Chains A and B, each alone.
Chain A
């Protein structure tokens, strides 16, 4: 059997309930998107874990490089002033 016969790999994202984001839950193999969604229902939502499913072929996912994570996320490291706790608010001031 040749390797090309393997069904493509899909990443599965599930919205657990209305109002929440879709979240990555795992992957599965399927011949096409329609089958991937049906398989995702059977594999990942047997106990009402979802109200909506996204699938995307794994080969279309682009990821940041973990080896460069330190440098890549560095710009946010020294910007404490982006957080509200950086600012001193006088005790007399309410509701801020």
Chain B
């Protein structure tokens, strides 16, 4: 007969983490683990939703019907990603209305990358190629994150992301093989998006206070700097293939570390955009709030309609 060892809830939780057993919604978990996840997952959801805006404004101006259909599909996917993630956050007890309210009030953050403008069609290519590329780099390890519903949502998301990156790369390739003016458009878009994309991995490891705990809880599997380095190593050869110049004079192959050395991200700009002073922060939130408010009557009407129908059904059954 085995002796039943009374383990504390905390120990059981730690043991699951150590043994790569996923934590599920109704399992006991430390309050801080729950809070960290709600913050991270809702932030991620908000990024998907706000991320629709810079691309969405090009749907009507896409250069062909094919490009329009593709872009429409991509933006629709991002809406789906937001919904998978909100639903994962709700399993932790977060309310959808509260999360949306926090986004609209500015209390909740979303990825700063979406506070940059999309000035030309080439920006749509650069976003798919670079921004979705960086998102994949961030998201693939999250498929193994310790919280079950988050991991499952990420599996779904990752399956859909690679089309996003490829369609972006194809736009860039088409422009790079086109007239000199088109090539120039591609280079300028690349120049605009390269550095903000590197910022997507978050602050440097020694300035990222949450990283250590998140790594211990296996919410995160790699540090910000590790992922940023991998991204640079992956993208430089692709840029070379396109014939684009990486806008970084300090970029240099480092044989010893088998990776690229690259210049310092402008962290002042990064924190400035995080604080709300990026080129499009106000515009993005205003657009979201406007859509939400103008949709209020639809949400209310749908609910009233559903209530009326269920009352009528109940009355019919009573007869």
Contacts and interface: CB of A to CB of B under 8 A. Distances in A.
Contacts of A31: 299, 302-303, 305-306
Chain A facing B: main interface SS: mixed
Nearest to B304: A31
A21 interface: no
Contacts of A89: none
Contacts of B156: 25-26
A28 B77 contact: no
A39 to B, nearest CB: 8
Contacts of B87: 26-28
Given A32-B310, A43-B84, A46-B77, A9 B90 contact: yes
Interface size class of A (residues with CB under 8 A): 20 to 34
A70 to B, nearest CB: 9
A6 B300 CA distance: 9
Interface in B149-167: 149, 152-153, 156, 160
A20 B296 CA distance: 39
A77 B128 CA distance: 51
Contact of B95 (A3, A25, A26, A63): A3
Contacts of A42: 76, 80
A1 B97 contact: yes
A94 interface: no
B28 interface: yes
Given A7-B302, A9-B90, A66-B26, A28 B83 contact: yes
Contacts of B84: 26, 43
A65 interface: yes
A67 interface: yes
B283 interface: no
Contacts of A43: 80, 83-84
B309 A5 contact: no
Of B24, B28, B84, chain A has the most CB atoms within 10 Å of the CB of B84
Given A6-B96, A27-B87, A43-B83, A66 B24 contact: yes
B11 interface: no
A15 interface: no
A51 interface: no
B299 A32 contact: no
Contacts of B27: 66
A24 B252 CA distance: 48
Interface string B80-118: 100110011011000111000000000000000000000
Interface string B21-34: 00010111000000
Given A26-B87, A43-B80, A46-B80, A5 B302 contact: no
Contacts of A44: 80
Contacts of B300: 5
25 contacts: A1-B97, A1-B296, A3-B97, A5-B97, A5-B299, A5-B303, A6-B95, A6-B96, A6-B97, A7-B299, A9-B96, A25-B156, A26-B87, A26-B88, A26-B152, A26-B153, A27-B87, A27-B91, A28-B83, A31-B306, A32-B305, A43-B83, A46-B160, A66-B26, A67-B28
**9 A-B pairs with the lowest CB-CB distances in the bound complex, closest first:** A32-B306, A31-B302, A31-B306, A27-B87, A26-B87, A66-B26, A6-B97, A31-B303, A66-B27
Interface of A: 1, 3, 5-7, 9, 25-29, 31-32, 35, 42-44, 46-47, 63, 65-67
Given A1-B296, A25-B156, A43-B84, 18 more contacts: A3-B97, A5-B303, A7-B299, A26-B87, A26-B152, A26-B153, A27-B90, A27-B91, A28-B87, A29-B96, A31-B303, A32-B302, A32-B305, A35-B306, A42-B80, A43-B80, A44-B80, A66-B27
